[in-house]
A and B are shown apart, each in its own frame.
Chain A
Amino acid sequence: DAEITQSPRHKITETGRQVTLACHQTWNHNNMFWYRQDLGHGLRLIHYSYGVHDTNKGEVSDGYSVSRSNTEDLPLTLESAASSQTSVYFCASSSGGREETQYFGPGTRLLVL
């Protein structure tokens, strides 16, 4: 069955370190998204991609970067982790066609000390 996976599921890091969160989908979806989820804020869009080599900034992109070298993967990099980036991160994908349902991964819980 097609799926979307994230790794690691839990991560503890120190401020200033570079961290990369992986997202892999086997839906063959064109669109991929990264969100962060914080209490009281719902899901906020960090970056998104509409296809290979395409990346775009979302609502809360400062301090984050992504790259899309193939259809399946959209890794999220925190260039220099900050305590304010402690959050739960969700990756999602959608087909990009008329059906715009986003399918979410299980999430990565990141703690920046």
Chain B
Amino acid sequence: GENVEQHPSTLSVQEGDSAVIKCTYSDSASNYFPWYKQELGKGPQLIIDIRSNVGEKKDQRIAVTLNKTAKHFSLHITETQPEDSAVYFCAASLIHGGFKTIFGAGTRLFVKA
């Protein structure tokens, strides 16, 4: 069935270093790729998203890249800070088709001060 694989499951970096989380998806019809950040005891919150007609999007220290041919997309966080420590989820979905949103299993990011 349709799925989204996310790697790594755990990532530990030193403050100031970069962090990269990668996802692959199976449904070639997917055209919207959001990334969510979940802090302890809270619900996931959207941090950045990308649509299939764009290859890269950047918002301050966060960037997302998309390779539709390979069905890969990645989250890049530069100059990591302790407050970036959280669980990050990638997802793939169809625009206008919310029920087709499939989430990755999550990456727990630790940023060591």
Task: Name A residues whose Cβ lies closer than 8 Å to a Cβ of B.
Answer: 31, 33, 35, 40-45, 48, 50, 56, 58, 90, 92, 94, 96, 98, 100-107
Contact = CB atoms under 8 A, between A and B. Distances in A.
Contacts of A56: 99
B80 to A, nearest CB: 22
Q: Which 4 A-B pairs have the closest CB atoms?
A: A104-B43, A42-B103, A43-B103, A42-B105
Contacts of B95: 98, 100
B89 interface: yes
B98 A31 contact: yes
Secondary structure class of chain A's binding surface, majority of residues? strand
B67 interface: no
A42 B98 contact: no
A98 B94 CA distance: 10
Nearest to A93: B98
Interface of B: 4, 6, 32, 34, 36, 41-46, 49, 89, 93, 95-96, 98-99, 101, 103-106
A100 B49 CA distance: 10
Secondary structure class of chain B's binding surface, majority of residues? strand
Contacts of B36: 104
Given A58-B99, A100-B98, A104-B43, A42 B49 contact: no
Name which of B6, B42, B95, B99 has the most chain A CB atoms within 10 A of its CB: B99
A45 B104 contact: no
B98 A41 contact: no
A98 B49 CA distance: 13
Given A100-B93, A102-B98, A42 B106 contact: yes
Contact of B43 (A50, A58, A90, A98): A90
B100 to A, nearest CB: 9
